[in-house]
Chains A and B, each alone.
Chain A
């Protein structure tokens, strides 16, 4: 496969990062050959979006980044809130609301649309800084917190 440079403008990549890319451009991008320097191009876009100085090493989810803070690699939310060392799950430093009652589930999954709370509940992880919903786990009671992603940064 030949080396390919990014052909997309900063504005297009910014829309892509925001999740608002025009559908036709998105389809064109999906059909195109993947570029070898997309990672670096998107990092520049992400760095330009956040209002803090730490260098982004890799995005690990919507609003979530592993950053270099004075030599330490930590997870940071786009709002600036810090969520601990990247080698452990950021969820440990988040706040969580657990939908483990019929009432809590009925609020958003009415009647027959909800799961059985004795079989499964929803853990909603929010950023303590900006209250953004960062991840939801649908697991039985007693299931360990899932460590979604440990990037290879060595």
Chain B
């Protein structure tokens, strides 16, 4: 067994058995220790910024889809940059995987080696997450690892853009390198980049990102060696483990301080609508993600996903590495944001994700659109955390369910005969979830990358044929509540110029189900969908100055683009496989809104009217959901609140609530009859049956709740 592998296994055993290092160096000279930590953070941040500034990809440069880190020789995170926090766990997993697979012996580790991984089963979330990893040597000894990762806009696969909603197995996910040595002496192998170039639609995105990441890594390596020279290797190595230990102690103490002990339960569902897509396996899925979160008085946090759905032949599975990363980035953002930014954050956390589930599939399953499984589970975790904060009195923290995000991609052959492939990450600007004391921000939020940017449209317009007719915030686009969820971004594109071929699709789920749940009386954000308008008279209308062009959706039941233009209108799911478009076709795309918080009838009527006048809430929703009566005194002036009518209408709405509601016990008795009669849609029955098979506990609790006989094993 190699020395590093032996060290890794010893350390894992020590931590599992509760043997933690002391903080001797910290206690001896705190300032020196803290300066070292800050300099490590500075290094990873500099690596990221260097890469971002020289990357050719707007996804990396504009949106900020990158992250850099420094690791211990055993693969534990010593310092982590801002960016895609999701990969906190995934980089570590790749290094540990290499050690477990005895890479020390073959291919061996040498100064200047470069390893690439985009296999989501051992690192990253999907094949578009391409990591560059290098060992760091000091006086001939491997003393650390550095790594950089970017989201690459084209990796092959069934569809352009690096992510493939029509992927039905791992083998559709695109070109993969499984922790492969791809360079020596700080140079990539020529044949590696030839491979990338010939097996992706536009290899430049991958190759240029590789070069940008290598610059960041080499810079970090040099800075780290200089730092070790300055501090001495013994001090550096001891201090790094102390930093992780300090992070662990902080995590346990913070959880104990801010979360109320108890057992919390939440559930989310997501849909995969493949039955009517142009795919070789046409089947719909309704995926069940239940969470039981336990907080103990001594600061331990356990997450149990017993009862999960099985993985499926669709793109929306998430690897275990990715699911683990999900919990870590949420914990960092929502609880441990003021702690140490290293492997210590794992200190108080235990996660149980059953094998052969959507969050832990075996190798055959596709993970291209991992984020659906992650977002649904993340919404469960977020609401459970929020209630734990709420109970403990820390109401400045906590959120309803985060929003699902989306993306539009396109590829084909441009007007000059060049292959192109682009994913536009503007749809990651979903609405943030509402909180107990504030609304969620509109078009602002990408939960796995807290330093993301919506990005300008100008860098995208020259590289793909989707041109913006409008980009804005969707009216009523967040979950209703006393504090409303942030509304989703919405864009309207027209295909222009006349390229030789263009295909386009989008992801993710949340069409037949609400995916971003509200909490404590707040409503979920609306369902997601895409409109396309094809065979249009756009050229004719655009050529006439007296005819208005559409720029937004308007009334969702009678959208502007179908009203102002001729053409064939189609509503397709929020996740739609790629199909061919032509010049002057239109695509209307949204992301997701955040869940709402609290009873909407408690929302300030003045704020509601202000938002009607800003186009964020429709007058109909103001009246039907918020109980607010407002009117325009005349056509050209804003809406004005009618306080008296509002007060009366809200009282009336409360009477209606009690009139049409029934006692819950009565509802349960009625619903039981439906269960005994099996009166559910086939896809819902299939979901229950799958989860009953996966989890004896779920089946037992189902029987107990509905008072079903022991003979009941499914529908």
Binding site for B on A (CB under 8 A): 1, 16-17, 19-21, 23, 26, 29-30, 33-34, 36, 38-39, 41-43, 58-62, 91-98, 107-116, 118-120, 122-126, 128, 130-136, 138-152
Contact = CB atoms under 8 A, between A and B. Distances in A.
Contacts of A62: 436, 482, 520-521, 597-599
Interface stretch (B187-195, B253-261, B353-361, B404-412): B253-261
Contact of B664 (A59, A95, A115, A143): A95
Nearest to B519: A135
B614 interface: no
B522 A136 contact: yes
Contacts of A133: 521, 599-601, 657
A88 to B, nearest CB: 11
B395 interface: yes
Interface in B262-287: 262-267, 269, 271, 286
**Most chain B C-beta atoms within 10 Å of own C-beta, residue among A20, A41, A110, A114:** A110
A149 to B, nearest CB: 5
Interface of B: 250, 253-254, 257-258, 260-267, 269, 271, 286, 295-297, 338, 387, 390-397, 436-438, 476, 480, 482-483, 511-514, 517-524, 526-527, 529, 555-557, 571, 597-602, 620-621, 624-625, 654-655, 657-658, 660-665, 667-668, 671, 674-675, 679-681, 683-684, 687-688, 701-702, 705-706
Contacts, number: 224
A97 B393 contact: no
B488 to A, nearest CB: 11
Nearest to B698: A144
A112 B529 contact: yes
Nearest to A43: B393
Given A144-B706, A145-B705, A111 B557 contact: yes
B261 A112 contact: no
A129 to B, nearest CB: 9
B556 A111 contact: yes
Contacts of A23: 438
A91 B632 CA distance: 41
A141 B416 CA distance: 53
Nearest to A141: B680
B50 to A, nearest CB: 29
Query: Which secondary structure dominates chain B's binding surface?
Result: mixed
A20 B527 contact: no
Contacts of B396: 16, 21, 26, 29-30
B84 to A, nearest CB: 23
**Most chain B C-beta atoms within 10 Å of own C-beta, residue among A30, A138, A143:** A138
B664 A142 contact: no
B90 to A, nearest CB: 28
B269 A139 contact: yes
A115 B558 CA distance: 18
B561 to A, nearest CB: 14
23 contacts: A17-B395, A36-B257, A41-B393, A62-B597, A96-B667, A97-B661, A109-B526, A112-B556, A114-B527, A115-B527, A119-B512, A123-B667, A124-B661, A126-B657, A132-B521, A135-B519, A136-B517, A136-B523, A139-B267, A141-B681, A141-B684, A148-B265, A152-B295
Given A108-B625, A120-B514, A135-B520, A152 B262 contact: yes
Contacts of A149: 262-265, 387, 391
Contact of B394 (A20, A38, A107, A151): A38
Contacts of B436: 19, 62
Contacts of A96: 661-664, 667
Contacts of A30: 396-397
A95 B663 contact: yes
Nearest to A36: B257
Contact of B514 (A115, A131, A142): A115
B122 to A, nearest CB: 34
A92 B665 contact: yes
A41 B395 CA distance: 12
B514 A1 contact: no
Contacts of B254: 1, 34
A135 B521 contact: yes
A90 B269 CA distance: 23
B337 to A, nearest CB: 9
Given A38-B393, A126-B657, A148-B265, A19 B437 contact: yes
Given A123-B667, A148-B265, A152-B262, 12 more contacts: A19-B598, A30-B397, A34-B394, A109-B527, A115-B527, A119-B271, A128-B658, A131-B654, A133-B601, A141-B680, A144-B706, A152-B297
Nearest to B620: A110
A22 B151 CA distance: 38
A151 to B, nearest CB: 4
B262 A119 contact: no
Contacts of A120: 269, 512-514
A150 B265 CA distance: 9
A138 B518 CA distance: 9
A136 B571 CA distance: 28
A148 B266 contact: yes
Contacts of B267: 139, 143, 146
A29 B517 CA distance: 26
Contacts of A150: 262-263
Contacts of A94: 664
B674 A141 contact: yes
A142 B391 contact: no
Contacts of A147: 265
A123 B267 CA distance: 14
Q: Which 4 A-B pairs have the closest CB atoms?
A: A42-B393, A111-B557, A113-B526, A131-B654
B395 A97 contact: no
Contacts of A113: 476, 526-527, 556
A98 B521 CA distance: 14
A93 B523 contact: no
A58 B658 CA distance: 27
Contacts of B250: 1
Contacts of B687: 140
A115 B266 contact: no
B705 to A, nearest CB: 4
B392 A39 contact: yes
A36 B299 CA distance: 13
